[in-house]
Structure 1
Amino acid sequence: MRSDIFVYTSLQDPRAQPLIEELGREYESRYGDFYLQESGVPEIQRYPAEVFTPAQGGNFLLLLRSGHAVAGGAFKRLDANTAEFKRIWTDSRLRRQGLASSVLAELEAQALRQGYQRVFLTTGFRQPEAVGLYLGHGYQRLFDPRADLQALRKLPFEKHLTSVPSSHAHRPSTNALQASQLARA
């Protein structure tokens, strides 16, 4: 029996650091200096941790298994009705288990709880598995898939939220008491 649980915490949570570091390495391996040429800042460092806090209209989520982060994601306020999802990531050793789908569903549910009606997100042109994830969860492309994806660089998607997802395979517990206790641990 797996002991998976969602925990709302902060980007500075030490449990998040292995995932964030791996995500940064993944960006570097897929894109090299491509994005550095665009802004001079590595993609993983583009947003301060504060934008992913409830005080700023955002949130940061970890999926813990036996106390260790195995997946996560975040969102920030884009406008009064729109949350922008960022940093959806699964430990590379644990992929193909539905963890990213679970994180995506929980982020959508939390965005709804915070009053958002729409999700906007982008993924890079060299991340076909992310494109598949978003399309498989009802996100609409905001780009022409026949276009030169490298020229587009970032591939935008949107989804209008209507209700909290009723169920999802591999969906861990979201017990608020457990989550708040773990977040303070």
Structure 2
Amino acid sequence: MSTPLFEVQRVRLGDPLTEPLVRELTHEYVTRYGPGGHAEMARYPAEEFAPPQGLLLLLLADGEPVAGGAYRRYDDTTAEIKRMWTHSAHRRRGLARRVLAELERAAAAGGYRRIHLTTGPRQPEAKQLYLAAGYTPLFDPDLDPPEFRPLPFEKHLTDRHPAGPSKGSAP
């Protein structure tokens, strides 16, 4: 079995390719947090994830979305990561880390110097991803998180150039 090549594609919320991301992420939020998961997915209008101040990208394998994420303007120098997703059939393969790195590169290229994000206390795998990717927790990671309080993280982007061009490649 050959390893699929991955293509990074920038899309807008509402593009048919985003349907699996929206559907699965909504289901995940509702499963973990109850009906408020629908409200979280509707919290920001699609325009907030559109250039020039925002971005939504998908990682495609053989033309099908397998992972994705977005950022929006948080303030003049800070992008806020939102909507991180990996298709349930493709987890534990480093795809979320790849999406996160692509978002960081794009945010830096767009003039942002810092990334801010939050994850929920019922998403320990997301917490581990952000810690492993060099994000600083803005909470005490050694304490049990409050039941419904978001867990904030930040990462300062450096002035160095992104680590190479974005190309389709094997993981």
Q: Give matches, 1:94-173, under 5 Å.
A: 94-151=90-147, 153-162=149-158, 163-166=160-163, 173=167
Whether contact under 8 Å (1:142, 1:157) holds in the other structure is: yes
The letter for the 2-side match of 1:16 is T
Matched, 1:50 2:47: yes
Matched, 1:79 2:57: no
TM-score, normalised relative to structure 2: 0.89
The aligned residue for residue 181 of structure 1 is none
Whether contact under 8 Å (2:5, 2:168) holds in the other structure is: no
Q: Offset of 1:164 from its aligned partner?
A: 4.4
Aligned length: 166
Whether contact under 8 Å (1:105, 1:165) holds in the other structure is: no
Deviates more, 1:144-153 or 1:93-102: 144-153
Could you say what the CA RMSD is over the residues aligned between the two structures, in angstroms? 2.1
Q: Deviations over 1:89-113 (max 9, x none)?
A: 1001100111001000000000001
Q: Offset of 1:42 from its aligned partner?
A: 1.7
CA distance in 1, matches of 2:142, 2:115: 23
Whether contact under 8 Å (2:6, 2:168) holds in the other structure is: no
Which consecutive residues of structure 2, in runs of 5 or more, have no partner in the other structure?
Answer: none
The letter for the 2-side match of 1:59 is L
Which SS does the other structure have where 1:19 is aligned? helix
Higher-helix-fraction structure: 1
TM-score, normalised relative to structure 1: 0.83
Structure 1 outlier segments of 4+, above 4 Å: none
Whether contact under 8 Å (2:66, 2:86) holds in the other structure is: yes
User: Percent identity at matched positions?
Assistant: 51
Whether contact under 8 Å (2:136, 2:153) holds in the other structure is: yes
Which consecutive residues of structure 1, in runs of 5 or more, have no partner in the other structure?
Answer: 176-185
Q: Offset of 1:165 from its aligned partner?
A: 4.7
